[in-house]
Amino acid sequence: MGKGRNKNLVELRDQALLRRYYYWTEIKRLRFDDVYQILSEREFFISIDRIRAIICANIDKLEGMNKSSFKAEKAQFISI
C-alpha cells in the first residue's frame, strides 16, 4: 500500500465539492466569495485557495451540470 492520499477518495471529494459549488452558485444564487467561505469553513474544511484550484482543474465537469439534476437534491450539508 502506497503512502499519501487515496486517489479515489480525493476524486470523490472533488466531485462532491463541484456539486456543492454548483448548488450554491447556480441554484441558491449566492455570491462567489460567500460560496467559497461556506465550502471552506462549513462543508469541506480545506482552504479557499485549494477550493479554487479544484474548481479550475475541473471546470469542464461543471459545464456538464444542469439545474434539472438538482431538483430532487436538497442541501445535505447546511442550509442558509
| 0.85 exceeded by pTM | no
HEC string of the chain equals CCCCCCHHHHHHHHHHHHHHHHHHHHHCCCCHHHHHHHHHHHHHCCCHHHHHHHHHHCHHHHHCCCHHHHCCCCCCCCCC
Handedness of CA 53, 46, 8, 3 (dihedral sign): positive
pLDDT tens column, 14-65: 999 999 999 999 999 999 999 999 999 999 999 999 999 999 999 888 887 7
